[in-house]
Amino acid sequence: METARSAAMPAYQRIAAAYRGLIISGELRPDDRLPTEHEIADRFGVVRQTVRTGLGILVTEGLIVARRPHGYFVRRREHMVYRPQEKSRPRPATPEMDRFSQQIVAEGRTPHQAIEVSLVQAAPDLAQRLGIMAGQTVVARRRVRFINGEPTNINDSHFPIDLVKDSEIMSPAYLPRGTDQVLADLGYRQDRAIDEIFIRMPTPEEIHRLSLGPGTPVAAHYDTGYTAAGQPVQCTLNVLPGDRHKIVFERHWQGEPAG
Amino acid sequence: METARSAAMPAYQRIAAAYRGLIISGELRPDDRLPTEHEIADRFGVVRQTVRTGLGILVTEGLIVARRPHGYFVRRREHMVYRPQEKSRPRPATPEMDRFSQQIVAEGRTPHQAIEVSLVQAAPDLAQRLGIMAGQTVVARRRVRFINGEPTNINDSHFPIDLVKDSEIMSPAYLPRGTDQVLADLGYRQDRAIDEIFIRMPTPEEIHRLSLGPGTPVAAHYDTGYTAAGQPVQCTLNVLPGDRHKIVFERHWQGEPAG
DNA sequence: TCGTCTAGATTGACTAGACAATGTAGATGT
DNA sequence: ACATCTACATTGTCTAGTCAATCTAGACGA
């Protein structure tokens, strides 16, 4: 268990570096157990608290998890593919499922979602994207999507209330047509969207809704849809935990043809 | 921002929640100073170590930074816009600058980059994307991009050595044409790319190259380019610190025209 | 056999200190 | 006036414990 720069680094960092190395090199594999805090403390000649500080780093890096009273285990991660581009393709003709559910079923897994509709005051970030004043009322369709019973991502759609009041969008029921089609039928067909993705640590609310462990960063994906006239008509915030997703899209070259 | 569950929550979480609330609500603004650990300890009736645990959470969430011996400060963040789509547009006719530098100069800031070329053995993730065996040699053009003297992102391009040996790509000099054009001139014109974005905490190497503070997640953006024949010819890993970037792209609807 | 209870191992939270490291501001000396 | 030094406040690292919470495996009992 060599430690590189041993002398210069504080003990807790040496401990973190040692086990990080074992994990990255593959010597410790997913679901493998680390020694107990007491054992590590003895090996490195420090007290338990120092070990905790070191392992705490690896926990916040998302490399290990603590399971009391079993010990620390190397974390396993598998990524669901998230394709923002798919949203602007015509929806396949299976009106009883949205794209998310279709993809999950195609992967042989079981989707589930709970929709909740509420009226909220637009936070500044949302208001700016929807072109309204902060604090104005918007309709929020908030949902957490589950795969095999586990919360996987957040999908909160927001609409200016003037556009959708009295429409189906106000109903917490699942809309087979999709909200984009409902908006189109109301005369607000979208033909352009701007996607913005921020990388950050989750808020406590997000941690709660997604049952996130510590050390899990998220991507916050704002999808703002515009009509041909340039009016923003919806803004959806997708929150994707980093340990459960990869974002994938494809590009084809514009300009002179290949040859 | 009520603290809810106050009684049930451990003290260090109450402390974190309290100051998190002050920051999110805007009561504490960027660059504002928090009370000292001792003061907070007195206010909450705990010892300093408990305060440190609580503030440590906010540090790893990226909300505050500690500056010794001045105290804790609310972190300021501004995002550089990262547009993966731009890469597949024809390059504007300013051969002395790449797209990154062009964008930065247009924003009135000063770009800088240091390129380093080396031969490395392909790690499994890279090998898979380039369609070669893990451990085979690839050419790596590694660079850290700076804005106003501060490291901002990592851009490491990788090429199978057979394709580029003896070409300009082996030179650590800046290539005005761009590596894509060099590849095209060698007969490997790309016409398609797959983008994959992972959200995770940075490795120690990335922390070092980018001088990242604690609590900064990154987006790891793999850009793999293919020829018309479907052969992967380059794989670039961009590492974007979450506190300095937002990823932006735009979609236009396919399917029936708007109306 | 089957359920229940208990002891034990392990992580979680916290106390009460000590000393080190690091900038700053003020004191000091020339 | 200027440079240098020093005291100090603050965070960083670490020790040495205590008690709580949680889950398991094995003992025990009906």
Q: Mean pLDDT per 10-residue run, chain B (259 residues)?
A: 49 91 86 93 93 90 88 84 74 65 76 87 91 93 85 93 90 84 92 92 83 82 94 95 87 57
According to the model, what pLDDT value does residue B259 have?
34
Residues 44 to 63 of A: which have CB under 8 A from any B CB? 60-62
C-alpha A175, offset from chain centre: 23
User: How many angstroms separate the CA of A106 from the C1' of C13?
Assistant: 45
More confident residue, A2 or B36: B36
How does pLDDT run across A15-59, given as a tens digit for each residue?
998 998 898 778 899 889 999 999 999 999 999 999 999 999 888
Q: Kindly tell me if the per-residue pLDDT of A234 is higher than 90.
A: yes
| Both structure tokens of A226 | 């515009």
Residue nearest to nucleotide C21 (CA to C1'): B68
Instruction: For residue A87, give the DSSP letter.
Output: G
Tell me the count of A-B CB pairs closer than 8 A. 148
Measured CA to C1', the nucleotide nearest B69 is: D10
Q: What is the token pair recorded at A78? A: 């598998």
Average pLDDT over residues A247-252: 86
Q: Which of residues 78-117 of B touch A (CB under 8 A)?
A: 79, 84-85, 87-90
The token pair that represents A140 in the structure block: 């929020």
pLDDT above 90: residue A155: yes
Strands A150-160 and A232-241: antiparallel
Distance CA B203, CA A33 (A): 21
What does the pLDDT read at residue B254? Answer: 63
Question: What pLDDT, on a 0 to 100 scale, did the predictor assign at position A254?
Answer: 63
* pTM score over 0.95: no
Taking a C-beta distance cutoff of 8 angstroms, is the pair A207, A213 a contact? no
CA of A34 to C1' of D23 (A): 18
- B4's tokens: 């809810």
* Prior bond of A69 cis (ω within 30°): yes
CA of B70 to C1' of C26 (A): 17
Q: Is the pLDDT of residue A259 over 50?
A: no
| DSSP one-letter code for A64 | E
Helix pair A11-24, A48-60: axis angle to 10 deg: 50
Q: Which residues of A touch B253 (CB under 8 A)?
A: 88, 190-192
Task: Determine, for residues B195 and A250 on separate chains, whether the beta-carbon distance falls below 8 Å.
Answer: yes
Helix, strand and coil percent figures for chain B, each rounded to 5: 30, 30, 40
**A248 closest CB neighbour out of B60, B88, B194:** B194
Rounded to a whole number, what is the distance in Å from the CA of A205 to chain B's nearest CA? 11
Nearest chain B residue to A79 by CA: give it.
B198
Residue of A nearest to B25 (CA): A123
- Best mutation site among A85, A201, A252 for testing chain B: the one with the most B CBs within 10 Å? A201
Q: Where are the beta strands (DSSP E) in chain B?
A: 64-67, 71-74, 80-82, 111-121, 137-147, 150-160, 190-200, 218-227, 232-241, 245-252
Model pLDDT, residue A46: 92
Question: Using the CB atom, is residue A70 less than 7 Å from strand C?
Answer: yes
State the pLDDT at residue A90: 66
Report yes or no: B229 and B210 within 8 Å, Cβ to Cβ.
no
Strand D closer than 7 A to residue B72 Cβ: yes
Q: Distance in angstroms, CA of B52 to C1' of C19? A: 17
Q: Higher pLDDT residue, A173 or A186?
A: A186
